[in-house]
Structures are given as C-alpha cells and as structure tokens.
Homo-oligomer: A and B are copies of this chain.
Amino acid sequence: MEEKFRRSLYPELDDIDYGIVRALQENARLPFTQIAKELGVTEKTIRMRVQQMQDEGVLSLVGIVNPVKAGLNVQAFVQIATEADKLDDVVAVLNGIVEVRLVVLTSGDYQLITQILVRNYEELSQFLMKTLNKIPGVTRVNVINELKILKSKYKFVR
C-alpha cells in the first residue's frame, strides 16, 4: 500500500508542484507571482500549493548557514556501536546534543552514523571523551574526519 502524502485526490506531486520546487530550490524568496507566470496559473494557486507542501513536510523554505563561515571548522562522521537494548537511550541523548547534526540508523558494524560539527579539534576531542564516551550503552566509536567537502547538493528535483 502506497503512502499518500499529497491531497486525497492527487496522490503525487504533479507538474505544477515540480515547477514550484524547481523554482524555489534555487531561490526560496522568488515571488509567487513570477512562478505563477511561468507555470501559467495564478499566484494564489502557487501560494496554496507551497503551503500544502510545507504542511506535508515535502518542502521546506529555509536559510542555511555555511557551517565553516559560522565558525564550525571541524566536522566529522562518527560511527557508534551500542549495546542492543540501549540503542534508543543513546539516540535520545544524541538528539539533545547541539554538536550532532545528523543521526542515522545503519547496517554494518555500527548501528549509528552521526555527523558532528564543532569549532576546533579541542572541541572534537572534548566531545568524544567527555560526552560520547560517557553515554551509557556506547561500546565502540569510529571517527571519520572530514578533511574537505568536495561536493554537496541539496537540490534533488530536476
């Protein structure tokens, strides 16, 4: 059974939705009137569809700060293995830690992969030793330092 995430009548994103997404991907502040003109519908239609897609979690219009420019110069992927029955607790703790940008449940040697953003290596070692290793249930940790981001894109819709 397919999950319906968009209107009861039209279960999927249609051409207008994709047109909206394509436009707003590049510039979240593009006037709805301009998108409307391009797509041949009224501004109100664009406005309503954007609202719907936002409500449904399909689309987010956000400001993103370049972490390096905000002083977060050190980034790392950290894989975490936990005792099986403590996984939920570990995740709950990670959820509350501001340095943790991403937590993903994975297959493989470690149950979790996380992404950590901190100001410098001092903060990274503090995080690893004072925070992560103190979380009950964490058994093993693998740190993958991010030396340089070579490609990064948020635009999925073409």
Contact = CB atoms under 8 A, between A and B. Distances in A.
A37 interface: no
Contacts of A108: 144-145
A153 B91 CA distance: 15
A43 to B, nearest CB: 14
A150 B69 contact: no
Interface residues of A, number: 56
B70 A156 contact: yes
A151 B94 contact: yes
Most interface-central of A77, A91, A112 (chain B CB within 10 A): A77
A3 to B, nearest CB: 9
A117 interface: yes
B26 A62 contact: yes
A145 B105 CA distance: 8
